[in-house]
Chains A and B, each alone.
Chain A
Amino acid sequence: MLKKILFISLALFMMTGTAWARTIVFATDATWPPMEFVDANKQTVGFAVDYMTAAGKEAGFTPVFKSVAWDGIFAGLGAGKYDAICSSVSITEKRKKVMDFSEPYFTVRQALVVRNESNAKSLDALKGKRVGTQISTTGTFAVKRVKGVISKTYDEIGLAIEDLFNGRIEGVVCDDPVAAQYALTNEKYKKTLKISSIIKTAEAEYYGIAVKKGNKEVLDLVNKGIRAVKAKGLDKPILKKWIGQ
């Protein structure tokens, strides 16, 4: 009897719980440490996950993270398979034409990672060499802007780093926190790899949450959360925890 009462009250609690808070399904390509990645317990964790959870608490939504391969992540948003993308998407003019972005929640630059013995100080020094990136990231665009550098695109940034480690390519371009994670803190790679330079683009890039064009309801909720997190300074401990600054 006691068990039954407990069970019913638990069920009731869960039902009311979901009725209060709207669930927003975020697609995330969890191969981008430290922003979002899968930890040893098979949980999606990282800076973006903590940030959105905090934002959800402020704005009253429950974030659910769904693992989606980067390659098809924008197609899935267009097809309505999830509400939003939270996967270190840099806000670019081209992307803005097909989707709407929330307020920026993080600032990055593109970093060039090379092996320790390399003395390439910029992408220009790698003309005629192969440079890896994750397919269709802002890193790829940066590599393609430099004439003469051979662009190789990988499904995941980790595979590009491994190929750099194994010596098949001469450099990898990715967002700077990701570069730092691999080249400075990762036990396996930090002895062999280094960040050679930050690529000078006209301006810094900002990560935003992407939603389907015209989906104002989700966009407003997410924006409300991000604003509240920024205003209350809730991002400071999250930054300290994942990025270490």
Chain B
Amino acid sequence: MSEKPVTIEISDGAAIPRRKDKGLVSAWRLAFFSALVIFTCLLIFKREPYLRIIKFLPDGILVTFEVTIASISLASIIGLFTGLGRISRNRYINLIASTYVEVVRGIPLLVQLFYLYYALGRFVRIPDIAAAVIAMSVCYGAYMGEVFRAGIESIDRGQTEAALSLGFNRTQTMFYVILPQAWRTILPPVGNEFIALLKDTSLVSILAVSDLLRRGREFASESFFYFETYTMIAIIYLLITLLLSKFVGIMEERLGRYEQR
């Protein structure tokens, strides 16, 4: 095949470092190292109150990670099945998957969180972190489903035809031929979704889940160090997001190895 590999670009979330930004000064490095320098300077030169703030936050960071990792795993699974459902030839499966995507994408995440926790709290008693994870993954599952669908559809039809003519059935074609190729196309936008999801976990603080943001708010409104606390929170989120985007960038390079000559 002589054509260029197909890529789909969806840009929300932090920019994932690319191969071509290999220079000494890249946006990623600039952002990451300035954040790191500010972070350490504050801790060294203004111990009070920054040290107190940083000591208050660790369990919040842990909760943020827990929610992120659990939601990412669950959302990927939901996303894969939604994506497959969206391109299914079975009319009913297709309709169910499409309706799910339409409904979920039409409701703000904040409203979904309130709905699952407070509105449905009457009927099902879901513990807080579980409720947060379910709401996040149901929401992001729909977005990921679209990414998966776009990725699968970007693979040339000839691949399917070739696989079918070799005697593969449709499931085998999908899992042995299409998905392994689509994965490379899918990874960058999925990485973006991961990073967007991490940032959106800050919304779960409204469910009284003591994540990073909630811990910060508790500290700020009790000690009145608003500027200091929110500066710290912003820097920590930025550092985590940048690290994650770097990680996604490395993964992408690994998978794209065969294309670089």
Contact = CB atoms under 8 A, between A and B. Distances in A.
Contact of B208 (A74, A78, A163): A163
A59 to B, nearest CB: 28
Given A75-B226, A159-B208, A163-B208, A153 B122 contact: no
Interface in B114-134: 118, 121-122, 125, 127-128
Given A74-B224, A136-B218, A153-B214, A162 B208 contact: no
Q: Interface centre among B214, B218, B221, by most A CB within 10 Å?
A: B221
A135 interface: yes
B12 interface: no
Given A71-B221, A135-B221, A166-B125, A159 B118 contact: yes
B210 interface: yes
Chain B interface category by residue count: 10 to 19
Interface string A153-194: 111000110110011100000000000000000000000000
B217 A135 contact: yes
B156 interface: no
Interface residues of A, number: 22
A78 B223 CA distance: 13
A165 to B, nearest CB: 9
Interface in B18-39: none
Given A162-B118, A167-B125, A136 B208 contact: no
B206 interface: yes
Interface string B119-152: 0011001011000000000000000000000000
B121 A98 contact: no
Interface string A131-152: 0100110001000000000001
Contacts of B127: 168
A166 B208 contact: no
B224 A98 contact: yes
B259 interface: no
Contacts of B206: 155
Interface string B204-238: 00101010001001101110101000000000000
Nearest to B122: A166
A98 B225 CA distance: 10
Nearest to B205: A155
Given A72-B226, A154-B208, 7 more contacts: A152-B128, A153-B214, A162-B118, A162-B121, A163-B118, A166-B121, A166-B125
10 contacts: A71-B221, A74-B224, A75-B220, A98-B224, A135-B221, A140-B218, A153-B210, A162-B118, A166-B121, A166-B122
